[in-house]
Amino acid sequence: PKTKTASLSKASVAVEQQTKVALIRIGTRGRRQNPHTTTDVPTYLPDKTILPCNLPREDVRDAFISLTAASLADLPPASVIGTASLRRKSQILHRYPSLNVQENFRGNVQTRLRKLNEGVVQATLLALAGLKRLSMTENVTSILSIDDMLPAVAQGAIGIACRSDDDKMAEYIATLNHEETRLAVVCERAFLQTLDGSCRTPIAGYACRNEDGNCLFRGLVASPDGTRVLETSRVGPYAVEDMIEMGVQ
């Protein structure tokens, strides 16, 4: 058990150093398998799989990166922004309908920055959490506030999943859990499940503890072109049942 616990702890440290590894799936022999970003975790987990653990959450905000403008508001009309995220696209176009969004803007962080430097686009948005984990924050032009760009469900959160019938593994990873983050992710994913959404749906959701110690949840669903945006917010106790109910409502 000590060896397994130590190995898992080392795995969690390695995960923190990589932007694209935000979910560790524990296989039948306790080996790390199939890393994904938590944002890309399916709305409904595979049978006999649970997500009982989250590490402390990184900054959930999006970073604006451009060589010619200080912010989205400073971009001239018809400027092209590269992002494959429908969530980002819909919120950008809702606020700045004169801008153009290039959806086919994919690749790792380095590839996207190269395209920006080559003039393929005038700006892009990337998760600040990923840039921090890659030690690439020097590329950030400015940081968007939560009011300007509501984050994706579970953005910045690293989770560890295991089989539902593996009590020993669940016990091991419970020692790594950051409960405040886990409850926030549970609330946000309940919202996503209620809307039957995915990372290919213009849905955003963010739960956090407010100054009174309660949970403040904000949710958003939009049309891909940004012409329609529906937002909601709720406040309730920072407890699992209440937070699930907030996400569902």
104 near 83, Cβ under 8 Å? no
Take residue 96 and report the two structure tokens written for it: 């700045």
Give, as one character, the DSSP assignment of residue 56: P
Q: What is the 3-state secondary structure (H, E, C) of 154-194?
A: CCCCCEEEEECCCHHHHHHHHCCCCHHHHHHHHHHHHHHHH
User: For residues 146 and 151, what is the distance between their CA atoms, to the nearest angstrom?
Assistant: 7
As beta bridge partners, residue 26 has 32
Is 74 annotated as catalytic? no
75 near 122, Cβ under 8 Å? yes
192 near 43, Cβ under 8 Å? yes
- How far, in Å, are 14, 53, 129, 164 from residue 29 at the CA level? 19, 19, 30, 14
Q: Of the residues 40, 74, 148, 166, which is catalytic?
A: 40
SS3 state at 129: helix
Query: Catalytic residue positions?
Result: 40
